[in-house]
Structure 1
Amino acid sequence: MRKPTDLHGLHVSLMSGFLLALLVAPSSARAETHATADRPNIVYILADDLGYGDVHRLNPDSKIATPNLDRLAEQGMTFTDAHSGSSVCTPTRYGILTGRYAWRSRLKKGVLGGYSPPLIEPGRLTVASLLQQKGYQTACVGKWHLGFDWGTSRALRFGDDIDAKEKMAAVDYKLPITHGPTSVGFDTYYGISASLDMPPYLYIHDDRTVGLPTTEKTYIRKGPAHADFEAVGVLPTLTAKAVELIDGWGKQEKSKSRPFFLYFPLTAPHTPIVPDDSFRGRSKVGTYGDFVMQVDATVGRVLDALERNAMTGSTLVIFTSDNGCSPSADFPALAKAGHHPSGPLRGHKADIFEGGHRIPFLARWPGKVQAGSTCDDTICLTDLLATCAAIVGSTVLADAGEDSVNILPDLLGTAQEPVREATVHHSIDGSFAVRQGPWKLALCPDSGGWSDPRPGRPEAKRLPPVQLFNLERDLGELRNLQAEHPEVVERLTKLLERYVVEGRSTPGPARENAGSVRISRDANR
């Protein structure tokens, strides 16, 4: 279809054994192979709450300098119509790794906390386990936010509905943490349990905490913390660990070692917005802009590490964001400086509007992805699983990746038609929208999130129950066409109903959702 066209520190040292454990991970059950131009290393960098309008290639009016993202765009492909699976973080992360919309899981709205039990179901195929089976070394460095089973000092019904204080009091940090990243395909993990404003405030290495919490700290929320943990040091620490992993893999590259998959979910520019001193004041648009610049510098360090180790040509690098920018960035202050994190889009994080889930997506794969190109096909972050399977010549089984579509034809510039039949969007309060071609149908009268009109407010109750937008003519979603095109409303509603009933949006046998799924609501909810 649309072919690409030309567009011109805290804990900075690694724990003893962290890298070694990965380098000597047993591989007896995996194919021995090495990275090549056709079977690349894969680096997936996921920013946290970075807006569509924060990237120059997507928003030429951006007032924040992002030279490394610009470099990535110039050397690769920019997607203009990429979407996260949700307008908030946990469900998006579930979708990235499993290829399944999170509203099919037990999580029907909202996000997990730092002490929540795992969301990824036992035995479910993930991107990491797929690549691990194909001989890849796999590592996750960063924000997990998909739940763990924490060891507890007493019997406790440990569900999402347990009071957070009760959870915190029951955890025994000396015990192993189970059902985390190393249980779903990652050889090793280093990072934090959830968002940077969610306790516990400490690092986790594989299935153990790095030290014990001996104090309490408050980063928006109050909770147990390691004495040395400081929010400002987290992004530098995670960056150093990711770079050291790449350097370690680079040493192996000389002996043609196995290729690697690095999933690198950042903690920034999510709240608390804490750029370190070397970035404070550099953006000239406030601390949010400074933090975005620090994110850009992190990307630069990863790209430099790949180049230093002569792995640029054999590595697919993807950079994206889990959802739109949060209003905590202080939109009014940024607007005074001439910067708009959502660019031309309506809304922001948490919303069903485009600003909630249309996100930056840059991909570089030298010799495969055309440098300086752009693609306007609609894609979703759930598509990583099917795409990785295609890259390594694998087949996704019928019981996995129910909403994952192979976007390799888009990356290679060979697609002759849209790769996706349609894309489902989901907001923080569980509101649905479905997109097909230029049409977007939102099955709610309001934002479904935090921007106006907010759910339950008087102004929302006076609005039609659904919203229909033609995004080709109205990217800002200003004109509701539901009354003029009832046939489109009916067609898209039936399509979404089919996706729900069949338990999947891709071809294959019907699958079960976890619990009932209600796609529409009224203004009074």
Structure 2
Amino acid sequence: MRNLYSFICLTLISFFSSCSNQEPAEEKLPNVIVILADDLGYGDIRAFNPDGKIPTPHIDQLAAEGMKFTDAHTPSAVCTPTRYGFLTGRYNWRSKLKSGVLTGKSKALIEDDRTTIADVMKNSGYQTAFIGKWHLGWDWALKGEDTIKGEGWDPKDFDQLDFTKSVTHTPNDLGFDYAYGHSGSLDMAPYVYVENGKVTAIPDTVTVNSGKYSWWREGPTSPDFVHEEVTPNFFERSIQYITDQAKEEKPFFLYLALPSPHTPILPPEEWQGKSGVAPFGDFMMMIDDYIGQVNTAIKNAGIEENTLVIFTSDNGGSPAAGLDVMQAAGHFSSYIYRGHKADAFEGGHRVPFIAKWPAKIKAGTSRDQTICLTDVMATGAEITNYKLKDNEGEDSYSLVELFDADKQVNQFREATVAHSINGSFAIRQGDWKLIMAKGSGGWSFPKPGDPAEADLPEVQLYNLASDPGETTNLQAENPEKVASLKSLLSKYIKEGRSTPGAPQQNDPIEGEWKQIGFVE
């Protein structure tokens, strides 16, 4: 009996000793879901604007379960360039698009050899998918013409597109295993779905709606493309994708690019009048409900703990959504900030940003460091141990250290650059923000060329800590600060990057880039 007892003890000692010498189990890579809303203002979410009049309980819940970033910015105040910056980790003005946005028939903006966040994730073993609004151009097949004639909106302008043939230079060429969506905004023809380079149904009609909030441009429309059903369609496909991929061994990366609440404002009948604010508020409540369904699908699939969900917007709220109507009802899409979509002012590019990842992010936390949507690329790279090359993610800083709410982070980005619709720059460092324009650079007063700009200083300098509403231009009293921010912006432009690394080249363009004039 004593020998048996000794044998058992020795066996147990040997077992536990061998266990202690084993390598720790490799940490499983998280699933990553990025939901990018369209024209959603900072103040449109109750978690960011407690005085907001639009109920958003499900997005608020997402914030309560994760981390809020209260000083998050888009690289541009309009859609196309922000989407470029998010996908490439590179400021949009480094591309050939120096101002404005693309149309529904524009050629591809991102070159096939440009690394995207989808490439990073795919190269790290992820299954990758894009569902939604692309708005970065792809190359439609043509009926014998070498190039598309003009960027016009006349339905005849689309006659040269051959919808029976494959589309090229699509999201599939930029790291996405699966891609399903439409080419531009929901008010930009052609109104067709493209799935993995194939048009899902040939256009058989030309449609337009002239309602106050549901207007869209006239253009060819496929029988399976119903404007009112587009946003629900994208959500439902995404929920199914999450459910299916949760059963697979490989982690997945899903980019859900919403075409809403951008115009056309299309709340279904069951949501109409629910907000008591405006059709935009009703539409926003529908979107919020779908966000809740996505969150529930993640939980039901059993993958919540190790899934990073990011929810944000591509720019501030748009006046086309009826901002004046909502303001009369006491709802301010830009919250306390000046301006709106298209502007260099804060309302143009400060957006809500939520990150939920139960395994790594403490629920109910908040960060006030300045971040940019370009930072998602470096974040994905750090999570997957992918080392970015010098010509990848040139303006991207990883958010991973910020996800640890207990970690003291004194300075995150050296500085952050924003861009208005007309190509005007703004640079932010600490509390200080310099706008390289007399006015908004966008759609709010004073607009570019407005007579009111005549007597204004060439630049604007604001201290956002004491003046978040950008009411008092301090450029005259602080010439040294103006000079230092101008010099830093000049450095970022000339070196082709704002992160540490070897200098890079900005993309060449034909003609003169007028905003380059201040570069030292």
Question: How does the TM-score come out when normalised to structure 2?
Answer: 0.91
Residue of structure 2 in register with 1:511 after alignment? 504
1:191 and 1:204 in contact (8 A); partners too: yes
Matched residue type, 2:395: D
Amino acid at match of 2:503: A
The yes-or-no answer on 1:449 pairing with 2:439 is no
Choose the corresponding residue for 1:393, options 381, 385, 389: 385
- Which residue number corresponds to residue 231 of structure 1? 227
SS in 1 for 2:51: coil
Corresponding residue for residue 17 of structure 2? none
Q: Output the amino acid matched with 2:314.
A: D
Query: Deviation string for 1:36-65 (max 9, x for gaps)?
Result: 975200000000000000111211000111
Cα offsets for 1:62-98 (capped at 9, x unmatched):
0111111111111100000000010000000000010
- Secondary structure, aligned partner of 1:346: coil
Relative to structure 1, the CA distance from residue 72 to residue 175 in structure 2 (aligned partners, 3 Å threshold; closer, same or farther) is same
Aligned to 2:16: none
Among residues 59, 66, 74, which one is paired with 1:69 in the alignment?
Answer: 59
Query: In the alignment, which residue of structure 1 is the partner of 2:398?
Result: 406
Q: Is the 1:84–1:381 contact (alpha carbons within 8 Å) kept by the matching residues of 2?
A: yes
The verdict on how the C-alpha distance between 1:415 and 1:224 changes in structure 2, with shifts beyond 3 A counting, is farther
Counterpart residue type for residue 469 of structure 1:
Y
In structure 1, stretches of 5+ residues that fail to align are 1-34
SS at match of 2:374: helix
Equivalent residue letter for 2:435: A
How far is 1:228 from its partner? 4.1
What RMSD in Å do the two structures reach over aligned CA positions? 1.6
Q: Describe how 1:15-414 pairs up with structure 2 within 5 A.
A: 39-158=29-148, 161-165=150-154, 167-218=157-208, 219-252=215-248, 257-413=249-405, 414=407
For 1:401-455, what per-residue CA distance to the aligned partner results, in whole angstroms no more than 9, with x for missing partners?
A: 1111111111123352222000001000000010000000000000000000111
Aligned partner of residue 270 in structure 2, secondary structure = coil
Deviation of 1:263 (Å): 0.2
Which residue of the other structure, out of 410, 413, 425, is the alignment partner of 1:417? Answer: 410
How far does residue 512 in structure 1 lie from its aligned partner after superposition?
0.8
Tell me, yes or no, if the aligned pair for 1:500 and 1:517 is still in contact at 8 Å.
Answer: no
**Highest RCO, 1 vs 2 (Cα 8 Å, sep ≥ 6):** 1
- Could you tell me which runs of 5 or more consecutive residues in structure 2 were left unpaired when the two chains were aligned: 1-24, 209-214
Check whether the contact 2:153–2:218 (CA below 8 A) recurs between aligned residues. Answer: no
Greater displacement, 405-414 / 395-404 = 405-414
| SS of equivalent residue, structure 2 residue 493 | helix
Q: Cα distance 1:120–1:494, how it changes in 2: closer, same or farther (>3 A)? A: same
Report the secondary structure of 1:435's partner residue: strand
Instruction: Look up the match of 2:19.
Output: none
TM-score normalised to structure 1 length: 0.90
The reply to whether residue 438 of structure 1 matches residue 428 of structure 2 is no
Q: Percent identity?
A: 48
SS state at 1:243 partner:
helix
SS in 1 for 2:165: coil
**2:503 aligned with 1:501:** no
Equivalent residue pairs, number: 483
Secondary structure at the counterpart of residue 399 of structure 1: coil
Quote how far apart the aligned CAs of 1:164 are: 4.8
Q: Secondary structure at the match of 2:467?
A: coil
Q: Does residue 480 of structure 1 match 2:473?
A: yes
Distance in 1 of aligned mates of 2:476 and 2:485: 14
- Structure 1, residues 79-127: CA drift from partner, whole Å, max 9, x if none? 0000001000000000001000010001000000010001111211100
Other-structure match for 1:22: none
Which residue identity does 2:413 align to in structure 1? R
For the residue of structure 1 that corresponds to 2:271, the secondary structure is coil
Task: Please state how far the C-alpha of 1:518 moved relative to its aligned partner.
Answer: 4.6
